[in-house]
């Protein structure tokens, strides 16, 4: 651990972007941060190293927010570590929900790709299945904002192409082109979630 004077020097170095300050911070506190994270995740957790690394990266980037009057550098680091453990559990819970949804969905999983190609305005009847809704939201959430917004507007909100073009102040052809790219991106994202396992053997996911 560092004393108060050393802490001030390290924080100043981090704010100035000095690499040696980050190294000093890591060398002084990595074992303690590791122990905190390991206690919360479990000593055998493969993700402990990732959370520790995230903790130090966030600390280095956010050194300007450190206030010595509110506690030592260790107290500050410990708070960042615990916050990232919580983030890790939220991510893990989300991935568990997605995996369970893909496993329960069965052959109906292919419907999510089909409603994109059938040009229906709303896939509401398909999204009545809670499992499919989870996977569709997860896939949309992983896309660039412009793709997600276009797909949501066209297929979930039922907006016409000319409305989408007017909102974005682009041509109808530009919206069609971008929507085609968005559909391809969605299918790839959806497949990565495991839904491709539900496609019958004699069928192929549309390109």
Q: Which residue is associated with the tokens 């109906």?
A: 108
- The alpha carbon of residue 161 and the mean position of all alpha carbons in its chain are separated, in whole angstroms, by 29
Asked if 64 and 131 sit in the same domain, the reply is no
Residue 43: inside a domain, yes or no?
yes
Q: What 3-state DSSP class applies to 79?
A: helix
Q: What 3-state DSSP class applies to 17?
A: coil
Tens digits of per-residue pLDDT, 150-171?
988 888 778 899 999 998 888 9
**pLDDT for res 90:** 87
Q: Model's pTM, two decimal places? A: 0.61
Cβ–Cβ < 8 Å for 41, 51? yes
Asked if 60 and 139 sit in the same domain, the reply is no
Confidence of residue 74 (pLDDT cuts 50, 70, 90): confident
| Residue 81 predicted with pLDDT over 80 | yes
Residue 89: inside a domain, yes or no?
no
Position with higher pLDDT, 142 vs 185: 185
Q: Of 20, 150, 40, nearest to 88 (Cα)?
A: 40
Residue 66: inside a domain, yes or no?
yes
- Count of structural domains, the chain: 2
Percent of the chain with pLDDT over 70: 80
Range of the domain at 11: 4-71
Cα 165 from Cα 173, distance rounded (Å)? 9
Q: Using alpha carbons only, give the angle 5, 8, 13 rounded to the nearest 5 degrees.
A: 130
Asked if 66 and 110 sit in the same domain, the reply is no
Tell me which of 53, 71, 89 is where a domain ends.
Answer: 71
Asked if 113 and 31 sit in the same domain, the reply is no
Asked if 45 and 111 sit in the same domain, the reply is no
Asked if 62 and 117 sit in the same domain, the reply is no
Q: Which residue is associated with the tokens 């893990």?
A: 92
Residue 77: inside a domain, yes or no?
no
Residue 94: inside a domain, yes or no?
no
Residue 128: inside a domain, yes or no?
yes
Confidence of residue 80 (pLDDT cuts 50, 70, 90): very high
Cα 80 from Cα 86, distance rounded (Å)? 10
Cβ–Cβ < 8 Å for 185, 207? no
Asked if 185 and 115 sit in the same domain, the reply is yes
Residue 158: inside a domain, yes or no?
yes
Asked if 112 and 194 sit in the same domain, the reply is yes
| Residue 199 predicted with pLDDT over 50 | no
Tell me which of 71, 96, 127 is where a domain ends.
Answer: 71
Please count the other Cβ atoms lying within 10 Å of the Cβ belonging to residue 93: 10
Residue 20: inside a domain, yes or no?
yes
CATH of residue 189: 1.10.10.10
């Amino acid at each position: 651990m560092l004393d108060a004077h050393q802490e001030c020097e390290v924080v100043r170095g981090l704010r100035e972007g000095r690499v040696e300050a980050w190294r000093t911070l890591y060398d002084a506190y990595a074992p303690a941060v590791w122990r905190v994270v390991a206690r919360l995740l479990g000593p055998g957790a493969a993700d402990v190293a990732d959370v520790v690394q995230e903790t130090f990266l966030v600390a280095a980037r956010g050194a300007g927010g450190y206030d010595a009057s509110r506690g030592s550098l260790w107290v500050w680091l410990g708070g960042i570590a615990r916050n990232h453990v919580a983030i890790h559990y939220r991510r893990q819970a989300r991935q568990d929900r997605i995996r369970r949804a893909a496993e329960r969905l069965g052959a109906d999983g292919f419907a999510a790709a089909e409603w994109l190609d059938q040009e229906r305005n709303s896939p509401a009847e398909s999204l009545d299945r809670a499992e499919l809704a989870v996977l569709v939201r997860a896939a949309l959430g992983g896309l660039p904002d412009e793709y997600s917004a276009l797909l949501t507007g066209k297929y979930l909100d039922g907006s016409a192409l000319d409305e989408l073009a007017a909102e974005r102040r682009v041509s109808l052809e530009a919206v069609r082109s971008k929507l085609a790219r968005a559909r391809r991106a969605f299918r790839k994202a959806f497949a990565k979630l495991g839904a491709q396992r539900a496609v019958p053997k004699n069928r192929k996911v549309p390109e």
